[in-house]
Structure 1
């Protein structure tokens, strides 16, 4: 039975610009929670884990792990209770976790709070995708997702600089207060302006969820999309977790890191805009395959330059890191669209399974790659090259 006439809250649909901005800012909770923390990693290591500073990297992957786990549950909850209640509950968990993190004195407790922050942030991620799927489909959905990802991608351009300023004035603990404030503001915007888009609620029953799961895994293209996304996310998170150490320890760019990261983020954000312009003409499969093949070539150049002339490798390292982030805008939205196309009737659960599987799987790959940092960028570069090559092979088998 339709719930369209019994919902509380706003009923008028948002205009295209506000809708893109709101969905982008909701998903940007994730980018802000990760990228703003990067300049604080040395302080966190010194404060909580001085004997093994590489462990500070785990604050990044712990958040991603929680986000992935939460994603499995958010979709079914959003299909049962609605998009709005699910997102607000996630925001409450996220904000509460930030408050606990402010007062922690142990690295273990900080990692636990980062996991629960990720659990809460997963609501924004999945609900935003489900709302887009509620209202669009096909290549138009891919175009809209690209524009939302462009807003999402702009946040990393300023997040490290904001993080560095906050750390300078308040220490790393002040960052968690900033995370809470950001979530409060975006949640209020959503609550005041975004109508409920779920028309037909699905019962939260094991048999229904099991049937939906069987339907998804029976589709070979969905399975291939999950595998490809897992490998691409692993590249992204491995690069993210180690980039601050590489800039600081290998190239001596400690104070300049936020500015280099901002440049990388701005350049990478243009990928989503580019995808929105070319995906209608070229098709999703061609864009994905071309992007991955180009990344394999750039990664091979990065490894070669480091092996032949490490002293002259900074420029290619910046280009290579930019390219790792750049392919996200050319691939993930398209892969999601290809996988979601036959799954509109179970959009919430489908989004959860797709994103949850890819994210949790990527952490299992990315964490060892990041922790392999040995004072050089070589282990990360090799790990990412292997992942991208496997992603290309898998993506080529997805039917357009």
Structure 2
């Protein structure tokens, strides 16, 4: 009987824990993607200024940054399991609270609290996946998780546009709250614990020392720069595209939703290629082969908008090609940044997410300013500059990872 229980726990950790994490992550994505086609309706429903529409995304990102400083070190000390389960419950309650908002200010506060799901998922959930499985299996499992979760940006806008013909936008958050509850229940029943509790005492000085060591680590610095810059072209498009395509471009919500399909579909295809066909996603030659795809996408993005400024096809096509290129290597970049050091992984992940989300919040606000004050070309130039900077930062990351691996004992390589 004991052996059967032990087998079930291992099987649950291998299969059902990733599924529970996917449900939680999927629901977190839907809070942005399901409502994006109707965000203009939300603003108008509360009689607010349309310029506040992108703030729904930037405040969500700010919420994702708010607890990073605490959750990483906390999960290193008391365990990953209690922290992630608590996060899933907070997310479910925040989505439920959105049903009772009566002003744009209340809606944005709820969005901020919903954004804390990023802290729990990225800082604790993804680290647990990487710790529970080996390097290659962990990278491929993360690629599979990302592929499934990124269905949300595809079906989210389409479903949101369709559902808003039959129900109020608040009802969409009720659906998301139910998914959040399912994710919480699944984590409660199946999530394994990957750290030994109580080995490291929880103290302010210890937490500060860990963060200081992480931010001084050269591999971390390079990895955080690469990942943050890599996100900018996609996240600025996600945040500002409702204003660009619906408010300024005159698209319907359904047309807007279909316009997003190629971008997120490209990331899904890229992750499935990694999971199914790439033997070693950490091979430098494979990583460098993805860079020309990204750069060609950015070239098409800016050239198309210069030559045919009235056709939004170039914005979507260029961003989609870039998304495919970065999707090929993103799980590997995360793994390199997290594990090419001897630092506490919860603190490393928290530091990485603080850097990413700070950069994203600033980039979204900068992109919004560029659009309203400069128009299409300055807005897209931000993505081009970030994409070119990725190449130089990636070269530094791969060099430092190679140096770290060379310093390891033969038994650890």
Q: TM-score, normalization: structure 1? A: 0.88
Query: What is the distance in 1 between the residues matched to 2:17 and 2:256?
Result: 32
Structure 2 residue aligned with 1:123: 120
Structure 1 residue aligned with 2:21: 23
Query: What is the distance in 2 between the residues matched to 1:284 and 1:117?
Result: 37
Q: Which residues of structure 1 form unaligned runs of 5+?
A: 1-9
- Does the Cα contact within 8 Å between 1:295 and 1:327 map onto a contact in 2? yes
Structure 2 residue aligned with 1:67: 64
Pick the aligned partner of 2:82 from 85, 90, 97. Answer: 85
Q: Which moved more, 1:288-297 or 1:345-354?
A: 288-297
Deviation at 1:15, TM superposition (A): 6.4
Structure 2 residue aligned with 1:212: 210
Structure 2 residue aligned with 1:361: 359
Q: What CA RMSD, in Å, does the superposition of the two structures yield over aligned residues?
A: 2.5
Q: Which moved more, 1:194-203 or 1:276-285?
A: 276-285
Q: Which residues of structure 2 form unaligned runs of 5+?
A: 1-7, 403-413
Question: What do residues 240-295 of structure 1 show as CA deviations (whole Å, max 9, x unaligned)?
Answer: 01222333332635422223323432332111122335654463544444434432
Structure 2 residue aligned with 1:325: 323
Deviation at 1:336, TM superposition (A): 1.2
Query: What is the distance in 1 between the residues matched to 2:285 and 2:375?
Result: 34
Deviation at 1:304, TM superposition (A): 1.6
SS in 2 for 1:195: coil
Query: What is the distance in 1 between the residues matched to 2:165 and 2:239?
Result: 21
Deviation at 1:296, TM superposition (A): 2.5
**Alignment CA distance shift 1:64-1:53 (3 Å):** same
Pick the aligned partner of 2:143 from 138, 143, 146. Answer: 146
Structure 2 residue aligned with 1:110: 107
- Does the Cα contact within 8 Å between 1:268 and 1:323 map onto a contact in 2? no
What pairs with 1:374-393 in structure 2 (closer than 5 Å)? 374=372, 377-393=376-392
Query: What is the distance in 1 between the residues matched to 2:346 and 2:119?
Result: 12
What pairs with 1:327-342 in structure 2 (closer than 5 Å)? 327-342=325-340
Structure 2 residue aligned with 1:39: 37
Query: What is the distance in 2 between the residues matched to 1:182 and 1:278?
Result: 31
What pairs with 1:262-341 in structure 2 (closer than 5 Å)? 262-277=261-276, 280-281=279-280, 283=282, 285-311=284-310, 313-341=311-339
Structure 1 residue aligned with 2:156: 159
Pick the aligned partner of 2:130 from 129, 133, 136. Answer: 133
- Does the Cα contact within 8 Å between 2:129 and 2:138 map onto a contact in 1? yes
Q: TM-score, normalization: structure 2? A: 0.85
Structure 1 residue aligned with 2:5: none
